[in-house]
Amino acid sequence: MKNILSILILSLVAIGCVGGTPEEHFGKGVQAFQSGDTLNSIKEFSYAIRGNPGFADAYYNLGIIYSNPKYRGEAIRCFDSAIKYNPQYEAAYISLGQAYLNSDSLSRAVSAFKLGLANCSNPAVFYSNLGYCYLARTLPDSAIKYYNLAIGLDPGNADNYYNMAYGMTRAKDLNESLKNLRLAIKYNPRKIEAYYLLGSRLAAKNGRTKKETEEAIAALELFLRNGEGSMIQTDIAKKKLSLLKGKE
């Protein structure tokens, strides 16, 4: 999902502020959000919609503000309205799909992403989100299918390689998952979670070669040096390193 702050700033720059118009209220909504005044932000975006019922950006920004479990239904209605008035609104399709997924409605999430795929000009982002839908619901074959489609259009996206590898938990997929983790690291050397997963899977591999043992040690040591892992991950990495070094 795009960062709301950057989206709001870009929208403000594109539309501009004119006194006494829906655009002025939109601009005030942006300013209120930036200052942390959520209530006034909602009020100003609502005024903008009252003055211009087809103001897609105002609906979208309201949807982002409402994107928490308590108000998720309202967020979905706002994203739907943004799409109604701008059928090519990529961010609205993505936010709508994610809202449905967070509501445990896989079928509606998939439908939202597929509708975005049909109406927008950046299919890679929708393939990636479809992959995540199936990954989140432990449907690896479908997840792999869509991540492969996303990678075909955006071969340098480290997140797609990592997410696909993450979902490859079956023994038959081990070598392919290792390949994807190496690619994730190649395209984003700062993707620390990829080092952890690569080292962990190599450490657990039966018939591991000496080179693979060295690779596992290097990956886990880099993960630990970074210091960003959870306590559980850190403890596991230390134990795996101890075992790996004891076998050299």
Amino acid 208: pLDDT: 94
Q: DSSP characters for 192-204? A: HHHHHHHHHHHHT
| In the predicted structure, residue 5 carries a pLDDT above the cut 70 | no
**Residue position matching structure tokens 């489609």:** 149
- Minimum mean pLDDT among 11-15, 44-48, 105-109, 183-187: which range? 11-15
Q: What are 29-76's pLDDT values in tens digits?
A: 989 999 999 999 999 999 999 999 999 999 999 999 999 899 999 999
d(CA 137, CA 192): 24
Q: What are 95-113's pLDDT values in tens digits?
A: 999 999 999 999 999 999 9
Q: Are 192 and 230 contacting, i.e. CB atoms less than 8 angstroms apart?
A: no
Could you tell me the domains of the chain?
Answer: 1-121 (1.25.40.10), 190-248 (no CATH)
d(CA 143, CA 30): 36
Amino acid 247: pLDDT: 54
Q: What are 216-245's pLDDT values in tens digits?
A: 999 999 999 999 889 999 999 999 999 999
d(CA 118, CA 111): 11
Amino acid 13: pLDDT: 35
- pLDDT tier at 248, thresholds 50, 70, 90: very low
Q: What are 199-219's pLDDT values in tens digits?
A: 999 999 999 999 999 999 999
Q: DSSP characters for 113-159? A: HHHHHHHSS-HHHHHHHHHHHHHHTT-HHHHHHHHHHHHHH-TT-HH
Amino acid 246: pLDDT: 86
Secondary structure class of 86 (helix, strand, coil): coil
Residues in the chain: 248
Number of neighbours of residue 180 by Cβ within 10 angstroms: 27
DSSP assigned state of 69: G
- pLDDT tier at 177, thresholds 50, 70, 90: very high
Q: Burial level of 209, CB count in 10 A (0-12/13-18/19+)?
A: exposed
Amino acid 214: pLDDT: 96
Which pTM value belongs to this model?
A: 0.85
Structure tokens at 42: 């909602």
Helices (H) and strands (E) in the chain, counts: 14, 0
Number of neighbours of residue 74 by Cβ within 10 angstroms: 15
